[in-house]
Amino acid sequence: MFQAVVKTLCVASTRSVSRGILCTRHYCKKTPTKLRVSEAISGAELGANIKVQGWVRSVRPQKTNLFLNVNDGSSLQSLQIVATSELNDPLLTFGSAVEVTGTLKKSPHQKQTVELQAEQIHVIGECNPVDFPFKIKERHGLEYIRQFPHLRCRTNVFSSLLRIRSEATSAIHSYFKENGFVQINTPVITSNDCEGAGELFQVEPPSPENKEDQNFFSVPAFLTVSGQLHLEAMSGAFSKVYTFGPTFRAENSQSRRHLAEFYMVEAEVSFTQSLEDLTKVMEDMFRSATEQILAHCAEDVDLFHKHVTPGHRDTIDATLKRKFPMITYSEAIDILNRSSEKFAFPTDWGCDLQKEHEKYLVKHCGNIPVFVTDYPYDLKPFYARDNQDRPNHTAAAVDLLVPGVGELCGGSLREERLDLLRARLEELGLEDTYSWYLDLRSFGSVPHGGFGLGFERYLQCILGVDNIKDVIPFPRFSHSCLL
């Protein structure tokens, strides 16, 4: 009886006569469920009428059937679309954007678990496959696709990189949140040169008609090279703080390891007089983020480890299994001087370690990350804590060196002793510039320290990518600012 009533209501609601015209209303027709490709592939709505939207990765027309692979960026895998040849369209080409509705069913083929039996295929955006720089049956190298920063996200390898980058960002934020750190949004525009290297982009408005308005901020302003000094200000009220954002270096370099704009993860820990407190955070964060990426982006990481950097997975697995060793700078110099390697740069005590030195030290320690501590005092910025040791005068500083990349993290205990800090700033002629920094040591100062991690270098490390320009969406470097 109930079914009969429902059937009657449906018929009555779908057909009515109004002013002599027969009208059909689709009150009972179910709207297709819109799914991402990753959701469809998981079989979440098996047997249901669904709709997917994405870009065509392959087209295989046959006499009676049409096969498409469609991807929307949610997964490395594409969804196979099966349709009758009547639904073929000359505009259905590699790279075109489509909307497909149909029934999600189990696939009889071993290559995929599900397929979409298409009822409608609508071309949203055309793509001329002749002009499109990526070809359907070619595997393009990273150097080639780097020429097309506006299009390279359409390739498998770069879409995988972007998903990994997104997951890595989430993993780092999760680590800090779970360990009691407060996120601080440090400014992009600053009047400080934190690193003291002078490699700054100055921020200026267009030339004003009124010369009195020439300095927009009344003082010279620059794009930040580090959020550290601002984090130190915050560490006077919070015991653990961090920031994650863009930083800039006006370094005239087109090398494989430098960018003019890149992202830094920086943290500051109060109430510590131990470098081991900092190295523990560095190592734990590295492990936590890497394990999350391997768990949540397994297919994307495998694409790199199998096709871009074969064998690199063994390096990552070894890294996660062993504790990172720690050596002093003096021990590192001894290791370099005892080696039979012919280095291009000198290895005397007091020299700055170059990439060739860093890579050798990593290899010497078992090809896993290694901490190097207690660098020469004169090599480090004014804020590094003086160890007050002789005859070798060192600072309580630490770098984390990793396979393939060299330096990944750099940090130090900060000089909390007002008299020593003032003397160092006076020596450098910076006392007036950093008077506010001296204030931090006058009002409730505590021993503290921190570090910075280059985010793009971290991605290079876990994926084995050689060129830093291949792990950032839009690389900026000298003589190149496309888009």
Q: What is the pLDDT of residue 212?
A: 61
Q: What does the domain layout of the chain look like in residue ranges?
A: 33-125, 152-470
Give the model's pLDDT for residue 289.
98
pLDDT in tens, 80-100: 999 999 999 999 999 999 999
Beta strands in 179-315 (DSSP E): 182-183, 189-190, 202-203, 221-223, 240-248, 261-270
CATH number of 33-125: 2.40.50.140
Q: Is the dihedral of CA 276, 282, 284, 287 positive or negative?
A: negative
Q: Do 127 and 159 contact (CB within 8 A), yes or no?
A: no
pLDDT at 194 (0 to 100): 67
Q: According to the model, what pLDDT value does residue 23 have?
A: 41
pLDDT value at residue 195: 63
Long-range contacts of 172-176 (CB under 8 A, 24+ apart): 172/244, 172/265, 172/285, 172/289, 172/455, 173/244, 174/288, 174/292, 175/284, 175/285, 175/288, 175/289, 176/240, 176/242, 176/267, 176/285
Q: What CATH fold (topology level) applies to the domain 152-470?
A: BirA Bifunctional Protein; domain 2 (3.30.930)
Greatest C-alpha distance within the chain: 105
Q: Which residues of the chain have pLDDT under 70?
A: 1-29, 194-198, 208-214
CA gap 465, 308 in Å, rounded: 8
Q: What per-residue confidence (pLDDT) applies to 29? A: 57
Helix (H) or strand (E) holding 51: strand 49-61
At residue 210, what are phi and psi to the nearest 5 degrees? -90, 110
Whether 418 and 438 have beta carbons less than 8 Å apart is answered as yes
Report d(CA 99, CA 122) in Å as an integer.
5
User: What's the confidence (pLDDT) of residue 20?
Assistant: 42
Q: Please list the residues that pair with 24 across neighbouring strands.
A: 15
Q: Give the pLDDT confidence score for residue 192 in this predicted structure.
A: 82
Stated pTM of the model: 0.90
